[in-house]
C-alpha cells in the first residue's frame, strides 16, 4: 500500500481492513481474488478518470469518477451532465503524470498525488450512499481496502476536495439506448458479483492479456496463474504450487534422489524447529540469516518458555549431531540429504518461485576425511545440478566459482550453476554446491582420529577436523524454466517435466457429423491416449463435449502441453494423427501404426530443441568485454559480460557502484530492478581459450590491476 494512503488514513484515524491478493487487472479477477477471502459484505467500485477536451495549450482538467463497479458509467453522458465537451476516458499517460497511477491501481486516494487539485473535478455515484462497505485499491492492484462511504467522504474533506453526486441509474435510464435495462441494485451479494463478472470476462480470462516482451512482470504473473501452475495465497510471499508446478519438482526429486543415492548419500528428516541456542552457535553464518528468521512464540494460548525458530537452512541444526555420529574415519564420507521446506521471511518484494518466504529444496550435508575428497563431491553435485537444468528443464547454465564477496557465509568456497533470463537480461543463481572447509567442524567439534597420522603423534595431533560440504537446489528452478521457455500464448513445458506430455483433441466434427462417426472419433482418441499412456507417456484425451477444438487448443497451449494430437475423420481415414508442437507451432502427421515410437521421438526432439534454442540465446548473450567503456552499454543491451578481472573484492564493490550510477544516467530500468548494478556471477570453469589472459599483461576490465582470469558479470535476480 502506498505510504500516501497510509498517511491519509492515519491522519483521519481510519483503521480499515486491508487484504493482499494477486494483482488484479479487471473486475472479474478482482472479484475472484476476493472470493477466497473472509471479508464482510462489500461492494466493488471503480475509479475512472475522464478527460474533457481542452485547448492544446491549456492545463488538463480531469474528472475523477468514483462509482459502484455495477453502475453503468458512460463518459459522454457524464460529460454532458457536467456540461463538458467531448469527455473521454483518459489515457495511461495522464493517469501516470497527474495521478501517479495506472488504470489497474487508480483509486480515490490517487487524489493525494495530484499537485493542483483545483484542476480536478470529483464525481461520486449516488448509489454509493446505500452501501455498507466499499472495496478500493489503495493505489496498489494487489491490495484491497474496505471503507465506508462516510470514511471516503471524510477523506475528501481532509484533502479539501469538493465533489458532486450523480445518479448514474437515472442517467442510464435517461439514455435512449439504455432501454429498460435496470441498473444493478446495491448491495448485491458478493458471490453474485463475482459470478457475473467472471462469466462476462471468460473469453478475456483465457488468454494472457499481455505480451512477454512488453510487460514481463505482468506476463509472468498471468502465465503462472492462468496456466494453473500457481495460485497466489493470502499470506504474503507464500504461494500454492498446483499440480503442474509440483510435478516439475517431483521429476527433479526423482532424478536427483536416485543419483545421490547411487553416490551413497542417505535421506533423513530433521525437525523444522531450531532452538535459539543452536541457531546462534555459528555467529558468522547466522548473521546472514538472522533478519529473515521466523519465530514461533506461542502454542495454543500458551507462550513458549523461549521462542523457537523455523529453519532457514540446516547447518547449525545438523552439525551438533554430526559430532555425535561421526566417531571414526571409517564413518567417512558421511553424507545425508533432506527434502524439506525452509523459511526465510524476506521483506523485499516477493516473487513466485524466485523469492518466496517458504520454499521447497533439498539440502545435502556431507563430511570427508580430506579436502580432496570434499572437492570431488562438490563438483559431482554441481554436475548433477547442471543435468537437472540441461536435461530436465532444457535450460543452459554456466558453472563456476563464486567470488569471495558472493560466497556462502561461513564456507570455504562456493560453486554455482548460473542461469539466465533473456527477457530481462538478468542472471540467476540456479543452485550452489559449497565446500565448507573445516570452519563448521571446528565450531562443532566434528573430529576423527587421523588414520594417516604418525603412530607416535600426540592425541591432539592425531585429531582431524573433517572437511564438510553442503549443497542445495530449490523450487526456484521452476521460475527460471517458466521465464525462459514461456511465450505470449502461455507456458511451454519441456517434455521431461510436463504433467501432461501429449493431449489428444477430437477435431473435424461438424453439425453434419453423425453420432456414429463422432463416437468413432472419440473412441479413437481414447485409444490413442491409452496406447501412449501404456508406453509410459503422460497422455490425456480431451473429450469434453461442450467445448470447441479451438477452446481446447487454447486451454492446453496456455498450460504448455508439449505436443497436441488432433484426430478427425480425415486423419482416421489416413490412419494418422496430426501433431502440433507447442514450442514451435510446427505441424506434422504421424502414422497410427507407429504411434508410440514416433511420439516418443517427437517429444525427445522438442526437449532437445528447447534446450538448443535457450542455449543459443544464452551463448549469444554472453559477451566478451575488455574495456570499461563497453561495460555498462553492453549490460544495458541485456547481456552478461565475460571480462578479464583482478579478482579483488574492492574492485567488485567498485564495479557494482559504477555500473549502478551509470545505469541511472543512461536509461530507465525495469521497475523490478531500479538502478541495479552488475554483480559478479562466477569464475567460469570453462575459461575462453581464444585470446586468453596474458599474465602480467592483460589488465582488469575495471581497474589498473592485472587480470587473473575471466569473470562473468551481470545484473542478477
Give residues in contact with its own copies (CB under 8 A).
32, 35-38, 191, 228, 231, 233-235, 238-243, 246-247, 249-250, 266-275, 277-278, 281, 290-302, 307-308, 310, 320-321, 323-325, 330, 336, 340-341, 343, 345, 347, 357-358, 360, 445, 499, 544, 546
Q: Strand, coil or helix: what is 74?
A: coil
CB atoms within 10 A of CB 100: 16
Q: Which is nearer to its own copies, 93 or 459 (CB)?
A: 459
Tell me which residue of 586, 502, 581, 583 sits closest to 541, measured CA to CA: 502
Beta-strand ranges (E) seen in 35-186 are 43-51, 63-68, 88-89, 121-125, 134-136, 143-147, 164-166
Q: Which is nearer to its own copies, 157 or 240 (CB)?
A: 240
Q: Which is nearer to its own copies, 81 or 311 (CB)?
A: 311
**In whole angstroms, how close is the CB of 320 to its own copies at the nearest point?**
4
**In whole angstroms, how close is the CB of 138 to its own copies at the nearest point?**
14
**In whole angstroms, how close is the CB of 430 to its own copies at the nearest point?**
20
Please state whether beta strands 502-506 and 539-541 pair in parallel, antiparallel, or not at all (unpaired).
parallel
Place of cell 525458530: 309
Please tell me the distance from the alpha carbon of residue 707 to that of residue 624, in angstroms, as a whole number.
Answer: 14
Please tell me the distance from the alpha carbon of residue 388 to that of residue 252, in angstroms, as a whole number.
Answer: 7
In DSSP terms, 576 is beta-bridged to: 591
**In whole angstroms, how close is the CB of 280 to its own copies at the nearest point?**
9
Q: Which is nearer to its own copies, 153 or 533 (CB)?
A: 533
Q: Which is nearer to its own copies, 170 or 290 (CB)?
A: 290
Q: Strand, coil or helix: what is 537?
A: coil
Q: Which is nearer to its own copies, 287 or 691 (CB)?
A: 287
**In whole angstroms, how close is the CB of 24 to its own copies at the nearest point?**
13
Q: Are 473 and 570 in contact (CB under 8 A)?
A: no
Residue 282 CA neighbour count, 13 Å, CB half: 24
**In whole angstroms, how close is the CB of 297 to its own copies at the nearest point?**
5
Q: Which is nearer to its own copies, 103 or 242 (CB)?
A: 242
Q: Which is nearer to its own copies, 21 or 121 (CB)?
A: 21
Grid coordinates of 231: 495460485
Residue 101 DSSP one-character state: -
**In whole angstroms, how close is the CB of 711 to its own copies at the nearest point?**
33
**In whole angstroms, how close is the CB of 526 to its own copies at the nearest point?**
15
Place of cell 523455523: 310
**In whole angstroms, how close is the CB of 502 to its own copies at the nearest point?**
17
Please tell me the distance from the alpha carbon of residue 326 to that of residue 367, in angstroms, as a whole number.
Answer: 9
Please tell me the distance from the alpha carbon of residue 224 to that of residue 244, in angstroms, as a whole number.
Answer: 10
**In whole angstroms, how close is the CB of 476 to its own copies at the nearest point?**
14
Residue 233, H or E segment = none
Tell me which residue of 153, 172, 171, 150 sits closest to 161, measured CA to CA: 153
Please tell me the distance from the alpha carbon of residue 711 to that of residue 403, in angstroms, as a whole number.
Answer: 9
Q: Which is nearer to its own copies, 65 or 443 (CB)?
A: 443
Place of cell 475522464: 50
Q: Which is nearer to its own copies, 12 or 198 (CB)?
A: 198
Q: Which is nearer to its own copies, 9 or 75 (CB)?
A: 9
**In whole angstroms, how close is the CB of 478 to its own copies at the nearest point?**
11
CB atoms within 10 A of CB 653: 12
Q: Is 39 exposed, middle or buried (0-12, 13-18, 19+ CB in 10 A)?
A: middle
Grid coordinates of 453: 597420522
Amino acid at each position: 500500500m502506498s505510504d500516501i494512503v497510509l498517511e491519509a488514513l492515519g491522519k483521519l484515524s481510519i483503521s480499515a481492513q486491508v487484504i493482499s491478493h494477486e494483482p488484479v487487472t479487471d473486475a472479474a479477477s478482482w472479484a475472484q481474488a476476493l472470493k477466497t477471502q473472509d471479508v464482510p459484505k462489500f461492494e466493488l467500485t471503480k475509479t475512472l478518470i475522464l478527460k474533457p477536451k481542452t485547448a492544446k495549450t491549456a492545463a488538463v482538467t480531469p474528472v475523477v469518477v468514483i462509482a459502484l463497479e455495477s453502475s453503468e458509467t458512460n463518459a459522454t453522458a457524464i460529460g454532458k451532465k457536467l456540461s463538458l465537451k467531448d469527455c473521454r476516458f483518459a489515457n495511461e499517460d495522464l493517469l501516470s503524470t497527474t495521478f501517479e497511477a495506472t488504470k489497474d491501481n487508480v483509486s480515490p486516494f490517487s487524489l493525494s498525488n495530484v499537485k493542483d487539485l483545483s484542476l480536478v473535478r470529483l464525481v461520486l455515484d449516488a448509489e454509493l450512499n446505500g452501501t455498507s462497505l466499499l472495496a478500493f485499491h489503495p493505489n496498489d492492484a494487489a491490495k484491497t481496502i474496505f471503507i465506508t462511504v462516510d470514511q471516503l467522504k471524510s477523506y475528501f474533506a481532509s484533502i479539501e476536495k469538493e465533489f458532486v453526486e450523480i445518479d448514474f441509474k437515472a442517467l442510464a435510464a435517461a439514455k435512449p439506448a439504455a432501454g429498460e435495462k435496470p441498473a444493478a441494485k446495491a448491495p448485491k451479494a458478493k458471490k453474485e458479483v463475482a459470478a457475473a463478472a467472471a462469466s462476462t470476462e471468460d473469453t478475456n480470462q483465457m488468454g494472457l492479456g499481455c505480451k512477454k516482451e512488453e510487460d514481463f512482470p505482468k506476463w509472468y504473473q498471468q502465465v503462472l496463474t492462468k496456466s494453473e501452475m500457481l495460485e497466489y495465497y493470502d499470506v504474503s510471499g507464500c504461494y500454492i504450487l498446483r499440480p503442474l508446478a509440483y510435478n516439475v519438482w517431483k521429476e527433479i526429486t526423482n532424478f536427483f534422489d536416485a543419483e545421490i543415492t547411487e553416490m551413497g548419500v542417505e535421506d533423513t528428516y530433521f525437525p523444522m524447529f531450531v532452538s535459539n541456542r543452536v541457531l546462534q552457535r555459528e555467529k558468522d553464518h547466522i548473521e546472514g540469516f538472522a533478519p529473515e528468521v521466523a519465530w514461533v512464540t506461542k502454542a495454543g494460548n500458551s507462550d513458549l518458555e523461549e521462542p523457537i525458530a523455523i529453519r532457514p537452512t540446516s547447518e547449525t541444526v545438523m552439525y551438533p549431531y554430526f559430532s555425535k555420529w561421526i566417531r571414526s574415519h571409517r564413518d567417512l564420507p558421511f553424507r545425508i540429504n533432506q527434502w524439506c521446506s525452509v523459511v526465510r521471511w524476506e521483506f523485499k518484494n516477493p516473487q513466485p518461485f524466485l523469492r518466496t518466504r517458504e520454499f521447497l529444496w533439498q539440502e545435502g550435508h556431507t563430511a570427508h576425511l580430506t579436502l580432496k575428497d570434499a572437492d570431488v563431491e562438490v563438483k559431482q553435485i554441481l554436475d548433477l545440478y547442471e543435468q537437472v537444468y540441461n536435461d530436465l528443464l532444457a535450460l543452459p547454465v554456466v558453472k563456476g566459482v563464486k567470488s569471495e564477496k558472493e560466497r556462502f557465509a561461513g564456507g570455504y568456497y562456493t560453486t554455482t550453476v548460473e542461469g539466465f533470463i533473456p527477457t530481462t537480461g538478468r542472471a540467476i543463481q540456479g543452485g550452489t554446491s559449497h565446500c565448507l572447509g573445516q570452519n563448521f567442524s571446528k565450531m562443532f567439534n566434528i573430529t576423527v582420529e587421523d588414520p594417516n597420522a604418525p603412530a607416535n603423534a600426540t592425541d591432539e595431533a592425531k585429531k582431524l577436523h573433517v572437511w564438510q560440504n553442503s549443497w542445495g537446489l530449490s523450487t526456484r528452478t521452476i521460475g527460471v524454466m517458466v521465464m525462459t521457455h514461456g511465450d505470449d500464448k502461455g507456458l511451454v513445458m519441456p517434455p521431461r517435466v510436463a504433467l501432461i506430455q501429449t493431449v489428444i483433441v477430437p477435431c473435424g466434427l461438424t453439425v453434419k457429423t453423425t453420432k456414429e462417426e463422432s463416437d468413432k472419433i472419440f473412441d479413437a482418441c481414447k485409444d490413442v491416449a491409452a496406447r501412449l499412456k501404456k508406453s509410459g507417456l503422460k497422455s490425456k484425451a480431451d473429450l469434453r463435449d461442450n467445448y470447441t477444438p479451438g477452446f481446447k487448443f487454447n486451454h492446453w497451449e496456455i498450460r504448455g502441453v508439449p505436443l497436441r494430437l488432433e484426430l478427425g475423420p480425415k486423419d482416421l481415414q489416413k490412419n494418422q494423427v496430426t501433431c502440433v508442437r507447442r514450442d514451435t507451432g510446427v505441424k506434422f502427421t504421424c502414422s497410427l501404426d507407429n504411434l508410440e515410437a514416433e511420439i516418443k521421438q517427437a517429444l525427445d526432439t522438442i526437449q532437445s530443441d528447447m534446450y538448443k534454442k535457450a542455449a543459443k540465446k544464452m551463448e549469444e548473450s554472453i559477451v566478451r568485454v575488455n574495456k570499461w567503456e563497453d561495460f555498462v552499454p553492453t549490460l544495458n543491451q541485456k547481456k552478461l559480460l565475460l571480462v578479464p578481472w583482478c579478482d579483488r573484492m574492492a574492485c567488485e564493490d567498485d564495479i557494482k557502484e559504477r555500473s549502478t550510477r551509470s545505469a541511472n544516467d543512461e536509461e530507465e530500468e525495469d521497475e523490478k530492478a531500479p538502478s541495479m548494478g552488475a554483480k559478479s556471477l562466477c569464475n567460469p570453469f570453462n575459461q575462453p581459450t581464444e585470446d586468453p589472459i596474458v599474465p602480467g599483461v592483460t589488465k582488469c576490465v575495471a581497474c589498473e590491476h592485472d587480470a587473473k582470469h575471466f569473470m562473468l558479470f551481470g545484473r542478477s535476480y
